[in-house]
Amino acid sequence: MMANNDKPRAIADVSTGSILATVTIAVPPERVFRALTADDQIPLWWGSDELYRTTRHTADVRPGGAWRSEGMGADGREFHVQGEYLKVEPPHLLVLTWKAPWDGDNVTTVTYTLEAVDAGTRLTLRHDGFGARQDACRDHGFGWESVLGWLATFLGDQAGAKPKAVFHCRLIPPRSDFAFTMTDPERALMKQHSDYLRSKLGEGGVILFGPVADPAGPWGLGIVRADDEASVRALTEGDPMIRSGLGFRYEILPMMSAVM
């Protein structure tokens, strides 16, 4: 639901090789700016199950700083898009280059302008530099309309929803020296485990995961954002490590507070 948000609109002017898109979102510009730039934000909203999901985003948010988004399409193919920031004036202006393999690695320019209005924030996006590549311009126009819709839905839902809880999840192996004595089948299982959690980054609620070098024996750490412990249990029970029946188990503890 997009509470109090105008529907996104995008117009591709193929004669000039540029796109103009806009949406009004019922949150302040500062919140929109963070959603557009923070490493931990973009994987939460950029994508949909039927098209693709952005699973990782890195950004050095300063003029000359690089950014890169990676993800996976609904067909299972991996993708990426990257560029660098040209202007960074929070929370009202963000200008960056855009370079995508599916567009022949041509370099175009995206400008986000954020204006505070009574309803929240009016976001205007301009994407320039397509030149005579009319099909690419038209396709990106459709794409930006979807992207702004995802952003508006994400921020609109957050504005009206209670904060999710954060949980500390400890994956305990069946033996203390597991990390050092893995068999080849167990090593393959670890790969499935890693792929599973990576697929849950962002939209699936996983904030981070990785091994912990405990002197008593390494174990796996996951930090998960979820509505309740039942949701976390459902996620951990789907982990190939648990489904293997080899004796792995999760210890799940709610965090009393989480500052991010």
Res 157 pLDDT > 80: no
Q: Find, among 27, 30, 24, the residue nearest to 9 by Cα.
A: 24
Report all structural domains of the chain as residue ranges with CATH numbers, in order of start. Answer: 9-160 (3.30.530.20), 165-254 (3.30.70.1060)
The total of other beta-carbon atoms located within 10 Å of residue 32's CB is 25
Neighbouring-strand partners of residue 12: 19
The reported pLDDT for the residue numbered 228 is: 87
The reported pLDDT for the residue numbered 2 is: 38
The reported pLDDT for the residue numbered 257 is: 79
Res 203 pLDDT > 70: no
Over the stretch 205-254, which tens digit does the pLDDT of each residue have? 898 999 999 998 999 999 998 888 998 999 999 999 999 999 999 999 99
User: Rg of the chain's alpha carbons, rounded to an integer?
Assistant: 21
The reported pLDDT for the residue numbered 256 is: 86
The reported pLDDT for the residue numbered 1 is: 34
Over the stretch 163-185, which tens digit does the pLDDT of each residue have? 678 999 999 999 999 999 999 99
Beta carbons of 235 and 205 less than 8 angstroms apart: yes
**CA 138 from centre of chain:** 25
Beta carbons of 19 and 170 less than 8 angstroms apart: no
Res 161 pLDDT > 60: no
> What's the token pair of residue 207?
């904030």
Q: What whole-number distance in Å separates Cα of residue 51 and Cα of residue 247? A: 36
Average pLDDT, integer, range 66-85: 96
SS3 159: helix
Beta carbons of 88 and 97 less than 8 angstroms apart: no
